[in-house]
Chains A and B, each alone.
Chain A
Amino acid sequence: MSIGERERDAAAARRAAQARDLLRLEDLHINIRLQRGSIDVLKGVSFRIPAGKTVALVGESGSGKTIAAQAILGILPNVAKITRGRILFRPPDMDGGEFDHAAEPSDGPYMRAMRGGAISMIFQEPMTSLSPLHRVGHQVQEALTLHRASSGREAYEVTVDMLRMVGFPDPKKAYAMYPIELSGGMRQRAMIAMAAICHPALLIADEPTTALDVTIQAQVLALLKDLQEHLSMSLLLITHDFGIVANMADEIVVLYHGEVMEAGNREDIFRRTGHAYTKALMRAVPSLDLQPGERLRGLWEIDRPVPDMMKRRAEARPRPAGPILRVEGLTKTFNVRGKTLFSKAGKPFTAVDDVSFDIRPGECFGIVGESGSGKTTLSKLILRALDPDRGAILFDDGEGLRDVVEFDSKELFDYRKRAQMVFQDPFGSLNPRATVLNILTEPLEIHEACRGAQARQIAEELVRLVGLQPTSLNRFPHSFSGGQRQRIGIARALALSPSILVCDEPVSALDVSVQAQILNLLKKLQAELKLTSIFISHNLAVIKYMADRIAVMRRGRIVELATAAELFCNPSHPYTRQLLEAVPHADLDHPLPFDHFDFKRGEAVPDLELGWDSMFRTPGEGSDRLALRPISDSHFVLTRQSAELRSLAS
């Protein structure tokens, strides 16, 4: 055999090896033991992960995505048992031998060597998935020392290199830091470093970006793609977001209640969607491609008519002619830490910086921004849960605009009746020791609107309105799901028929399958009860779906304020454009520009503004200040006062 022939044979063998699957699930059944009886969470799931490719496992929560990943790693919870089927894994350094993870003892030497060595995993919650008591570098290095025989000094070098690779600008410093010193995005990078440090053949990413802001999400996705290329590993991506799927996956498996609904390559799934469930799931997630006026279709809909009595009460509310709420120059500064015996005062932090806007009666005013942009502080100021340092909040209850900041306790008490709030966390915002009836009638009693049988009647109307049975009045919050609790929260906010409803991220803690339901409910209530609402979200698609006018916030300032149509057709501020660019689209022809998201840069870059046109940059000392300036009647952008605005108008 000539040398040339031998080389050709070797290449062919290599190709054949690459073509073989790294992992195959065959007819996998998993059963979970409950207190009474048991439940099958996976009912005969089969799919494959080819070497070097990305497979997306898609489904709503409870579909069995995570349990499948846990089974592959051999870290199933004690109550879960594999009852049938095989998980065949071909570790790269074992000469093509196949091992059945369903049969291997989960804490035996083989599985321990695979976990973290050949297969590793990153999780959804970067805030809790690292131990708060151990240094970041130590936790990353532990994976290395467990699986690769390397000495202290060498292991340290490898760890620092890995930290640099995932985008820590100063990896040596990051090595010695604790997780609490890092932001969510940086923690997720540390997790990725930990998972990738042994160069695994398979990386399982369980909703890796769900808890992150949209620009950070784009960076983390870019990082995963980059690592995959460098380490030629396979990726099992668990997600519910078809935008991410379209940008990352080679093959897609759609899971529903433990069964595979549809599986295929990206072209098949996106261009020739077969299964009705896949279509429904794609439609249930709000997307930027939704046309104005188009209705989001949830997986399960609730549609109850609004009772006449509530409509009448809403009609009876005084409606001002001008704006119902006007915010002028609102500023709030927090002292990071007050000066105490033990510490010096921290540098004050301006959470809300000179914010002004009007809200017209009956409109939905959207506030969008990433974490730390001051949107929640702003909502608390409007409700006077916090007192502003400067500025005015003018509220019109049919008697002209009056400053909420100047209200005495009696006036403030009345204002509370007019402005109500729906909170983000449906679990923390309902008193676990009060029945739904108590929760709904408490506002009525506090404000002495009514009590007894009449209050009960109102409570019944409210639960019907949000699509629950009147029998649920006697139950406690813990017996409801997240979506149902959020509906109770909405009912409570409506009990006093307020003029203004402030919704702070009302769907971000909810499962995708019920998000659409809650959004549609809020939309209907708004239209039929003529509610004025302030809707706060970090999700641009949600804001686009809900809001009439939108304010984009960054570092406490509004950088752009426009009607929804204008904002999305003609985004004028570079920050708005950046945000929009980072949103993944569920469309193969509209991929994320990954090279725009330089993950190596990290996120603590002070000069994010450097790439911007000078008219948007924060000026130095002494020169003109940034101000919100109009480019049309209803479109405002934060620029330097001297800047020429004509170029921005559409």
Chain B
Amino acid sequence: MLGKTAGGLYWMFRYLERAENAARLVEAGFRIALTRSNDAEAEWKSVIVTTASQIGYDTLHDGYDSSRVVDYLLRAPENPSSVLSVIKAARDNARLTRTALTTEVWYAVNDTWMLLTDLLKDPIPETELPGVLATIRQQSGLVRGALYGTMLRNDIYDFCRLGSAIERMDNTARIIDVKYYSLLPSPSFIGSRMDNVQWETILRSVSAHRSFRWAVEGDFTAPAIADFLILDRRMPRSLSFSAGQIVEHLNMLGAEYETRMPSHDMADALQTQLKGRDINSIFEQGLHEFISGVITDTAQLAQQIAEDYRFTG
């Protein structure tokens, strides 16, 4: 396979994952804005920070109100990570790698691009927002389903899945990092309203507010939530799960190409940080430091994968 094709597949799925995550963050933010308007501005700001778009946003706007933040995250052409921008980028990558995709995957991506380009043509009124966000997530699921259901399990599939897993790892880590203070087990805050709001938003940002209740017996406590998001291998957006996916698909590539690359060691090291860990030991190490480390390691790993498999010349 061409290195460029591998890179195109990888980025296509990073972008699709990014679109889905943006929709989820907007949904969580919107809920806060509706139910606790006093917290809305701070919440929107943290969403902007989470998506690493504060500098870009601040050059266009001052103040963080629903309509401008939502527009920036969903539609703004100036924002390279807006849903509209990344869906276009995903579709461009799909065109680039078209010979590697099944017709079903191509249709799913191309349909998504056509549908969302039309849906996001004009600013989204509040009344339409829930429907639009649902559509973005639904379309993302459609592409994923086409990938699972129709693609050969070969290197093509591995590069697609690596893109999703790296992006998800980065995204969950950022969500935790921005809100890390509310996840610290500080006794003076426990049970306060502030924490309940923050915890609920964090869980909603990764679509886990229901699964947490089912999976974790016991109370909503900061350590339990942190444990769930970082270490729980059952939770498909946890760091541990994502690291497992990265290692799994790199190993499959290693087997298919019969060569172990430097990125394999880096991925193993990343996974070791999470495997068999106890959440208390992470708190002792310092949650913020730990998460910052994960974000940096993930970025370096991504760079190494691109180098090992010759994404660019």
**Genuine A/B complex:** no
Interface residues in chain B, defined as those with a beta carbon under 8 Å from any beta carbon in chain A: none
Mark A residues whose CB is within 8 Å of B.
none
